[in-house]
Structure 1
Amino acid sequence: MGATLTGVLDSYSVSSNSLLTGLLGVWELNETSGLAQDELETYDAVSTDVTYDASGKIGRCFTYDGSDSVSCGSVLHLTSYLTVSCWMKTTNTGADWYALVGNYGSVNGFGYDITYYAASTRIEWGVRSTGHTTVYTAVDADLSNGNWHHIVCKWDGIARKIYIDGVDAGSADSWTYAPESSGDNLYIGDRGTCNAWIGSIDAVRIWERALTEDEIEELYAKENAGTGYPW
């Protein structure tokens, strides 16, 4: 009887993986044409001029040339704890901010987003609201070496933090201001009309909670080994 019960249980794919908790959007960017599909089947994104089907960190990825766009529409205007992760690769050293993921408000400055200032080699993480629209937390990180790098940014109600390749990059700042809705679209690789990415982006995820450091280390280890969602 025990063997039979074990066999029944083994036939189900039941995950206790905490990385699935609070997960809102998953874009593997494995498509060869058309929409960038959300694996959770909620927030598919419209892709404009990206190069599909390039070799990615996990399967395939999207490649951008500085004029491309991937828009998920006016969604995920989070106003509480959050985590955003992605893989990036670039050799760009241009003197500008280059957008990875976010819904920065071009009019009101609200929202959240991750950018890379290539010339000054730093990752910046913005969580902005009324009266607090221009301040980022930033870490120096020369990532323009043509290698894949894992970026995780989170806000836990106390501080904004940046993790690079599974390691706390030392960015924690005191920041108790929750993000406000930008009203703008969620973009992957640009801000709609500016700051378009030059390079490749893969495996984008957004959570409505702040991942723990152990979870971030686990996420990096699994994805660095080539294991994508659902891990």
Structure 2
Amino acid sequence: LPIDPKNNSSYYYTFMSGENYFELDCILESKTYRDKMTTDGGSRSDLYEVGTSIGLYKLSKLPQSAYIKAYWQFEEASGTIYDQTANNNNGTYNGILYQQTGKIGKCLGFDGDDFVNCGSDDSLHLTNVTIVAWINLDIAPYTYHSIYGHRDNIDKGYLFAVRPTHLDFTTYGVADVQSDAISWTTDQWYHVAVTYDGSNIAFYLNGEAKGTGSASMNAWDTTNVLSIGKAHGGLYFQGRIDEVIIYNKVLTVSEITTLYANGSPTR
């Protein structure tokens, strides 16, 4: 008899997230096909994963997952960049560098004029926020290299960027706050994060605290568009970006350290 003649819950899982996303997982019984569990592109090497979004298991296991407002894995080979949450904050990639080698699986490349337009949905207009990403620089930063830009045509919104010797968080029209000093190396993956509660800012690099600051911000406007890889009017990123997560919550140091540790295995 097969291991699981009655579909025991110990041997199969189904995950749903949003209207058009699903993941179906199972343990393969045949030794002949078990290697497929490690090469299916999913987040579990001990399960065979199929579906429209085979990172949903990972989403459910992230710290404070109920507060995730958007999660872009950048695994797509073409077309829409899908948000893995039920908020459907899908993006449009203005570039051609799909499926670059990522920190986890594949990622998107940004060569100085590429970016992802993630729209202006209210679910992204956050005052309590944590922004997390893996980045890899092609060149030494010489100005603002934008990771996350969220601004309209006037001074409302904020920017998270790499600068020559710092991470930077700008609340437009109010303040520009920098992390402690950082010595960047090209072609190396960094886990970067910033938290902001409407006043206090904290930076993190590779799971460790990297300085604090404070700034207020102007009220959100409904036209604020979120872009990954650029700021309003330019300041493009040059390199690769992977696993961008947006929380409607200020994460703790230990939670950010956990996110950094989650980036060690390969999907």
TM superposition score category, shorter chain reference? 0.7 to 0.9
CA distance in 1: counterparts of 2:200 and 2:144, whole angstroms: 22
Q: Paired residue for 2:220, among 176, 181, 187? A: 181
In structure 2, the residue matched to 1:135 is 176
Aligned partners of 1:150 and 1:166 also within 8 Å: yes
Distance 1:35 1:11, change over 3 A: closer
| Matching of residue 216 in structure 1 with residue 256 in structure 2 | yes
Distance 1:10 1:214, change over 3 A: farther
- Listed as ranges, the gaps of 5+ residues in structure 1 are 1-6
In structure 2, the residue matched to 1:51 is 97
Report percent identity of matched pairs: 23
CA distance in 2: counterparts of 1:174 and 1:95, whole angstroms: 24
Distance 1:224 1:184, change over 3 A: same
Q: Paired residue for 1:40, among 47, 61, 85? A: 85
Letter aligned with residue 159 of structure 1: N
In structure 1, the residue matched to 2:127 is 80
Bigger CA drift: 144-153 or 54-63?
A: 144-153
CA distance in 2: counterparts of 1:66 and 1:45, whole angstroms: 18
CA deviation string 1:92-146 (max 9, x = no partner): 12532111013133x32221221112xx321101245xxx523223332122321
Tell me the TM-score normalized by structure 1.
0.82
Aligned partners of 1:64 and 1:198 also within 8 Å: yes
Tell me the TM-score normalized by structure 2.
0.72
Distance 1:10 1:33, change over 3 A: closer
More relative contact order in 1 or in 2 (CA 8 Å, sep 6+)? 1
| Matching of residue 125 in structure 1 with residue 125 in structure 2 | no
CA deviation string 1:8-54 (max 9, x = no partner): 57866795753312000000001111111111151110011240011
CA distance in 2: counterparts of 1:194 and 1:16, whole angstroms: 35
CA distance in 1: counterparts of 2:228 and 2:138, whole angstroms: 18
**CA shift at 1:206, angstroms?**
0.2
| Matching of residue 115 in structure 1 with residue 156 in structure 2 | no
Tell me the secondary structure at the aligned position of residue 144 of structure 1.
coil
Letter aligned with residue 220 of structure 2: S
Please identify the structure whose Cα radius of gyration is greater. 2
**CA shift at 1:181, angstroms?**
1.4
Q: How many residues align?
A: 213
